Amino acid sequence: DQQVKQNSPSLSVQEGRISILNCDYTNSMFDYFLWYKKYPAEGPTFLISISSIKDKNEDGRFTVFLNKSAKHLSLHIVPSQPGDSAVYFCAAHGDQGGSEKLVFGKGMKLTVNP
């Protein structure tokens, strides 16, 4: 049973426009949600996170929104740049079975066209 879902495998946007990446989760016990960015042949790198007690966190061009009632979060990138082209993983952190776990979604490939 997939606890963190990224239902769209890919997204293509024009440079300068907004990119919106979506993520849904099923476990209401998650306390932090994170986005990771991954370039080919590299390891994932942490991008931005949000606590479950907040509904928005902003860091430069990147903003994450959390809707707890809908168990949904989204990552907004404004304006999008070609260097943002990568695979983005949504992840959720929480205590599961007495130990802290980080659960990842399947990832979404973002392509920003010049």
Residues forming contacts to another protein in the complex (CB under 8 A) are: 4, 6, 9, 31-32, 34, 36, 41-46, 49, 89, 91-93, 99-102, 104-107
Q: Side by side, which strands form the sheet with 56-59?
A: 4-5, 19-25, 72-77, 62-67, 56-59
Between 52 and 79, CB nearer to another protein: 52
- C-alpha dihedral sign at 79, 57, 50, 65: negative
Cβ closer to another protein: 22 or 79? 22
- My answer on whether omega of the bond before 114 falls inside 30° of 0, hence cis, is no
- Residue 12 C-beta: closest distance to another protein, Å: 19
Q: How far is the CB of 42 from another protein (least distance, A)?
A: 6
